[in-house]
Amino acid sequence: MRESRMMQIQYATGVLALGLVTVHLLMQGVLVPYGEAVSFQRVLSIYRSAVDGALLEILLIVILAHGFNGLRVILLEWRQGGRWTRGVNWTLLLVTIATIAYGTRTVILAATGQVS
Amino acid sequence: MEDVTLRIQRFDPSTERAPHLESFIVPLTEGMTVLDALLYAKHRLDHGISFRFSCRMASCGSCGMKINGKPRLACEAQLAEIGTTVKVQPMDNFPILRDLAVDLDGFFAKHAALSPGITRKGDPGEQESPTGEYLMKPEELDSLVQFTYCIKCGLCSSACPTSSTDALFPGPQALAQAYRFLSDPRDEAWEERLEAVDRDHGVWRCHFAGTCSSVCPKGVDPALGIQLLKRHVMSGRSKQKRGASLFPNPNRGLLEPEG
């Protein structure tokens, strides 16, 4: 993938993350009192709501894509070389996919009532 | 007459392990620049002080160095404005050859790698044997003219935080020149130029610190050029670039002998 495409993703996920994290924080402490927001049953109910669950999944993907791509940029500037560049690119792509998959698993388990 | 203490960083990589500072007392004269003081020290105090210089008028870009921590041209740094103690060090982000002289080979290689020249694909012969001239609109010239003032002194790359960590980053000078030729309506190497900068260690590694622009002795704004280059890469790839038209030279033949 071209670096410009990666940076388009970085900018888009950055803007999306700003909006989604704002909504997330509003829901977790401003609009809903903090003590109530983090109660186990309420958290589970968020996962079971289609809209809220989807927003959490999107937040998960956006934050991980943005964060790991940012880490990739830092690592590429830290050291140079063809092997290093390929290693960093592939390793972080796999780590990003694995982490998203693990987070998605949690979202699915909670949404389908397999966590109680 | 007031004296100036010149603290010069000395270092010979072939015999020394680390640089050190040496002080030289130089009598201050009216209009004296850091370069003048260095020349005084070299001629009268220590012939071994190594540094580059040439034009003494901020045109050649040879005497770039760090003066009191800031990358500047020694020939235009007035001692009266700086103070009575001046620390002079080689530019950052370049290998030191000796004392204040740094190795600029890599810097020029990065500049050359981005093809700093107008390329004509449709009529390559016109470059070798011109029959006319390519006209530009004044606003087209305005959009790129500041980047033609670059004297390749290396101060921008010395100040660039990305250049200090990423050895493969082309640097602000080369990227600003890439923009200069990319935006030139006479140039036709549009795709190649975008390809050359849109890489892992290319234009996207600039984080817009802006230090390059703040130290440029010619008033060039490389940071602006890099941001405009990013915009070209993002949005310009699919756009058709409007080329300059060839107009016959109206003076052609006037100097040729009759008959």
**Taken in order B72, B76, B82, B88, is the CA torsion positive or negative?**
positive
Instruction: Output phi, psi for B145, to 5 deg.
Output: -60, -35
Q: Are residues B80 and B159 in the same domain?
A: no
Q: Residue B249 pLDDT > 80, yes or no?
A: no
Domains defined for chain A, CATH in brackets: 3-111 (1.20.1300.10)
Q: Are residues B156 and B213 in the same domain?
A: yes
Residue B17 in contact with residue B28, Cβ under 8 Å? no
- The C-alpha atoms of residue B191 and residue B214 are separated, in whole angstroms, by 30
List the beta strands (DSSP E) in B94-182.
96-98, 101-102, 132-134
Q: What is the CATH number of the domain that holds B119?
A: 1.10.1060.10
- The answer for A 84-113 residues in CB contact with B (under 8 A) is 85, 89
Q: Are residues B19 and B49 in the same domain?
A: yes
Which amino acid is present at B169? F
- The C-alpha atoms of residue B202 and residue A2 are separated, in whole angstroms, by 11
Does residue B213 lie in a domain region? yes
Instruction: Output phi, psi for B167, to 5 deg.
Output: -65, -20
Is A2 in the B-facing interface, judged by CB distances under 8 Å? Answer: yes
Q: Are residues B134 and B88 in the same domain?
A: no
Does residue B10 lie in a domain region? yes
- Count of the separate structural domains present in chain B: 2
Q: Are residues B135 and B226 in the same domain?
A: yes
Residues spanned by the domain of B96 = 3-102
Q: Are residues B196 and B120 in the same domain?
A: yes
Kindly report the pTM of this predicted structure.
Answer: 0.85
Is A9 in the B-facing interface, judged by CB distances under 8 Å? Answer: no
Supply the pLDDT for residue A62. Answer: 97
Instruction: Look at A65-79, B29-43, B74-88, B227-241 and tell me which has the smallest mean pLDDT.
Output: B227-241
Task: Say whether B233 and A76 touch across the interface (CB within 8 A).
Answer: no
- Residue of B200, B203, B232, B237 to mutate, testing the A interface (most A Cβ within 10 Å of its Cβ): B200
Q: What is the pLDDT of residues B134-151, one digit of tens each?
A: 888 899 899 999 999 999
Q: Residue B120 pLDDT > 80, yes or no?
A: yes
Supply the pLDDT for residue A39. Answer: 86
Q: What is the pLDDT of residues B63-116, one digit of tens each?
A: 999 999 999 999 999 999 999 999 999 999 999 999 999 999 999 999 999 999
Q: What is the pLDDT of residues B186-239, one digit of tens each?
A: 888 888 999 999 999 999 999 999 999 999 999 999 999 999 999 999 886 545
Task: Say whether A80 and B198 touch across the interface (CB within 8 A).
Answer: no
Q: In this prediction, what percent of chain B has a pLDDT beyond 70?
A: 92
Closest partner residue to A77 (CB to CB) among B166, B198, B233 is B166
Q: Of A78 and B1, which is predicted with more confidence?
A: A78
Q: Residue B258 pLDDT > 60, yes or no?
A: no
Q: Report the run of H or E that residue A110 belongs to, with start and end.
A: helix A82-111
Q: Of B61 and B133, which is predicted with more confidence?
A: B61
In which residue are the tokens 């960590």 written?
Answer: B165
Hey, what are B182's tokens? Answer: 């990319």
Q: Are residues B70 and B109 in the same domain?
A: no
Does residue B132 lie in a domain region? yes
Q: Report the pLDDT averaged over residues A90-96.
A: 97
Q: Residue B254 pLDDT > 60, yes or no?
A: no
Q: Are residues B97 and B111 in the same domain?
A: no
- CA of B234, closest CA in chain A: separation in Å? 6
Closest partner residue to A77 (CB to CB) among B162, B230, B234 is B162
pLDDT band at B244 (very low <50, low <70, confident <90, very high): confident
Q: Are residues B146 and B81 in the same domain?
A: no
Supply the pLDDT for residue B238. Answer: 44
Does residue B246 lie in a domain region? no
Residue B102 in contact with residue B216, Cβ under 8 Å? no
Residue A114: count other Cβ atoms within 10 Å of its Cβ. 8
Among residues B87, B86, B60, the alpha carbon closest in space to that of B73 is found at B60
Instruction: Look at A1-5, A6-10, A55-59, B160-164 and tell me which has the smallest mean pLDDT.
Output: A1-5
Spell out the residues 6+ positions from residue B80 whose beta carbon is closer than 8 angstroms to its own: B28, B30, B31, B32
Q: Are residues B140 and B93 in the same domain?
A: no
Per DSSP, A7 falls in state H
Q: Of B240 and A69, which is predicted with more confidence?
A: A69
Supply the pLDDT for residue A26. Answer: 87
Q: Are residues B30 and B59 in the same domain?
A: yes
Q: What is the CATH number of the domain that holds B67?
A: 3.10.20.30
Does residue B17 lie in a domain region? yes
Does residue B62 lie in a domain region? yes
Beta bridge mates, A115: none
Q: Report the pLDDT averaged over residues A72-97.
A: 94
Does residue B252 lie in a domain region? no
Q: Report the pLDDT averaged over residues B44-54.
A: 97
Q: Report the run of H or E that residue B22 belongs to, with start and end.
A: strand B20-27
